[in-house]
A and B are shown apart, each in its own frame.
Chain A
Amino acid sequence: MNAIKLKNKEFINEKFNYNMNLKKRKIMNKIFHSILLASISLIILILIALFSDVFKKGISHVNVDFFLNYTSRIASKSGIRASILGSLWVNILTLLIAFPLGLGSAIYLEEYAPKNKLTNIIQVNISNLAGVPSIVYGILGLSLFVRTFGFGRSILSASLTMALLILPIIIVSSREALKTVPKELKEASYALGATKWDTITGVIIPYAIPGILTGTILAVSRAIGEAAPLVVVGGAAGIWFSPKGIFDEFTTLPLQIYNWASKPQAEFQNVASAGILVLLIVLISINLVAILLRNKYQDRIKQ
């Protein structure tokens, strides 16, 4: 016992210089505390700087015309009509493709998959896919959808590419949601003679749906902000018409912002700021919905 005590004391002496007087150690702690505070304040300052700059530059350009005009060679006449419509087309179609596939995969892995090698491979594979840089998905979309399937540089190619990109996110978050369903609920359903599919549609999905939706909303908000894969797939810089169908050419809000931001003229930087302002407001409202949904959901689990 004494030996252990001695050892501990030596350890502490060595590691923390215990003999240093308490006052000094407390001062060190205070200094460290301020460093930590400084670093977290820095993050918040950066966020404020980012927003205030974008706001300052962009707000004067955001008006009704900005939403109704197509892009233009003249900065003051440039608007986001084509890119807003393009973003709507691409992201709604992305959601329609990715959600059923993602939820289906999640249900398969959570409820049906046997514990074997194949299941394991699928699981490892999904987490690897989540870490693939988005531009590689662009290359995949270009080769597979634009060229091999012959969909061209269209809304459909863009949506399929984005769907593949966000699929891993939807699968992982849906699985998390499915995991929270209490076993008793499932067993009760089986005890009443329900089949597996009845149980899934009648018990498991209704219980897990807020979690599934939260994950899906976050995944879609990622797709709304992505530009890199769409540059590769071939989002056009200037679109002067409203898309009518899934085989039309497209641009999206982030692509339009990229296009404006890469122009050297200062006026276009203000137009880009206005575009960013709209994009951020859309994204923050979507994220807010997701957070509110999640909070509500967490409360229900507590009950």
Chain B
Amino acid sequence: MKKLNEKVIKHILFGCGMVSIFITISILFILFKESALFFTHISPVDFFTGKQWTPLLKPQHFGILPLVSGTFLIVLFSSIISIPIGLLSAIYLSEYSNKKVRKIIKPILEILAGIPSIVYGFFALNIITPILKNLIPQTNIYNALSAAIAVGIMTIPMVLSLSEDSMQAVPKSLREGAYALGLTKLEVVFGVVIPASISGIISSFILAISRAIGETMIVALAAGSTPKLTLNPLESIQTMTGFIVQVSQGDIAKGTIESQTLYAVAMLLFIMTLIMNMLSRYVADKLREEY
């Protein structure tokens, strides 16, 4: 009796473990199926090279480039913020600060990482945009730059904590060897610590970029909803995630081309972030220095 129970339990637990496989298969199946229907109407070439995106207006155009360029703007400008600030702060916490300072700053970072993205979106709209408008009067109310700055701030803790972890993993003996040769802290950081932890650092950058690609509420609130093929961050744009939110808020019936468009965009988003996440893991594994 007891043995039978043990077996039943094992099977139940195995079932739990398989749920994650079920989720993945569902995501893939749903995205593939509806996107396939989409591509029976719209040729993939038009989709990937078209410069106009107006699926909700007549005449309809299904060129994804404006959404991709919008996403790219967000990624570019958010990285310009999150990568240097995150890395520099990681160097400070790992190499320069004393234990007491770390004990105060680490929980602050955890708070920063725990703030929901909708709050950052509000922040972008209500603080960053007015500041930008003061500095550059031709800034749109909805613009890519203020959304990107908020996304950048949101991803700082990610770059920071992952980079700091990999710097902490560098053995003390390597640093001490360098100090023994008479190097200053600055030289130890750039000559020893960063080269030794470069894999973790780069993988944190890639993860931050992946997060910026998938970030939704900030861009839905602050970036606007005008899909535009532009590199001017002061204009209103739309990202892939922003489009998904816009369409979801209307009542789109199942089976229409608008609904299928949603899935095609979600599929592209899913593939892009999946590639980034796998690349990040690959970098962390393959470039790791063995001590």
Q: Which residues of A contact B (CB under 8 A)?
A: 8, 12, 15-16, 25-26, 28-29, 32-33, 35-37, 39-40, 42-44, 46-47, 49-50, 53-54, 57, 100-105, 107-109, 112-113, 121-122, 125-129, 131-136, 138-140, 142-144, 147, 164, 167-168, 171, 195-197, 218, 221-222, 224-228, 231-232, 234, 254, 257-258, 261-262, 269, 272-273, 276, 279-280, 283-284, 287, 291
Closest to A221 in B: B114
A39-B84, A171-B20, A279-B116 as given contacts; A53 in contact with B126, CB under 8 Å: yes
A residues in contact with B269, CB < 8 Å: 133, 135-136
* Beta-carbon contact of A128 and B248 below 8 Å: no
Interface size range on B against A = 35 or more
Contact A36 B96 (CB under 8 A): yes
Q: A136-B27, A261-B121, A283-B115 are in contact. Are A37 and B92 (CB under 8 A)?
A: yes
Choice from A43, A261, A284 contacting B221 with Cβ under 8 Å: A261
A257 near B13 with CB under 8 A, answer no
Given contacts A122-B20, A258-B217, A279-B119, list 16 more A-B pairs with CB under 8 A: A12-B181, A47-B108, A47-B111, A104-B15, A108-B10, A121-B21, A128-B277, A129-B20, A133-B215, A134-B214, A147-B254, A227-B118, A227-B217, A254-B116, A258-B221, A291-B110
B30 lies within 8 A of A129 (CB)? no
Interface of B: prevailing SS: helix
Q: Confirm or deny: B109 has a beta carbon within 8 angstroms of a beta carbon on chain A.
A: yes
Give the residues in chain B near A226, CB-CB below 8 Å.
116
Given the known interface contacts A15-B191, A37-B92, A195-B2, the answer about A228 and B241 at a Cβ–Cβ threshold of 8 Å is yes
In the complex, the answer to whether A131 meets B185 with C-beta atoms within 8 Å is no
Task: Determine the chain B residues whose CB is within 8 A of the CB of A29 once the complex forms.
Answer: 184-187
Contact indicator per residue, chain B 204-219, by CB within 8 Å of chain A (1) or not (0): 0001001001111100
Supposing A16-B183, A39-B84 touch, asked if A131 and B273 sit within 8 A by C-beta, the answer is: yes
Residue on A nearest B214 in the bound complex, by CB: A133
Q: Which of B122, B245, B277 contacts A276 (CB 8 A)?
A: B122
Complex CA gap A284/B110 in Å reads: 10
B85 within 8 A of A: yes
B127 close to A (CB within 8 Å): yes
Residues in A with CB closer than 8 Å to B27 are: 132, 136, 140
Contact of A284 among B6, B9, B111 (CB under 8 A): B111
B19 touches A167 (CB 8 A): yes
Is there a chain A Cβ closer than 8 Å to B93's Cβ? yes
**Identity of the chain B residue whose Cβ is nearest the Cβ of A225 in the assembled complex:** B116
**Residues of A contacting B125 with CB < 8 Å?**
261
Chain B residues with CB under 8 Å of chain A are 2, 5-6, 9-10, 12-21, 23-24, 26-27, 30-31, 34, 84-85, 88-89, 91-93, 96-97, 105, 107-112, 114-119, 121-123, 125-127, 153, 156, 181, 183-187, 189, 191, 207, 210, 213-217, 220-221, 241, 244-245, 248-249, 254, 262-263, 266, 269-270, 273-274, 276-278, 281
In the complex, which of the residues B20, B112, B270 has the most CB atoms of chain A within 10 Å of its own CB atom?
B20
Q: Once bound together, how far apart are the Cα atoms of A227 and B10, in whole Å? A: 36
Residues of B within 8 A of A108 (CB): 10, 13-14, 16-17
Distance, CA A47 to CA B111, complexed state (A): 9
Which residues does chain B contribute within 8 Å of A284, judged by CB atoms? 111, 114
Q: Are A46 and B93 in contact (CB under 8 A)?
A: no
Q: In the assembled complex, which residues on chain B have CB atoms less than 8 Å from the CB atom of A39?
A: 84-85, 88-89, 92
Identify A50's interface contact among B123, B185, B248, CB under 8 A: B123
Q: Are B248 and A138 in contact (CB under 8 A)?
A: yes
Tell me whether A139 and B14 are in contact (CB under 8 A): no
7 A-B pairs with the lowest CB-CB distances in the bound complex, closest first:
A133-B214, A225-B116, A104-B16, A36-B92, A131-B277, A228-B216, A108-B13
- Closest Cβ of chain B: how far from A42's Cβ, in Å? 6
**Closest Cβ of chain A: how far from B170's Cβ, in Å?**
17
B89 touching A43, Cβ below 8 Å = yes
On chain A, the residues within 8 Å of B13 by CB distance are: 104-105, 107-108, 112
Neighbouring A residues of B115 by C-beta, 8 Å: 50, 225, 280, 283
13 contacts between A and B (CB under 8 A): A16-B191, A29-B186, A32-B185, A36-B92, A101-B19, A112-B10, A128-B24, A132-B274, A133-B269, A222-B114, A261-B221, A280-B115, A291-B107
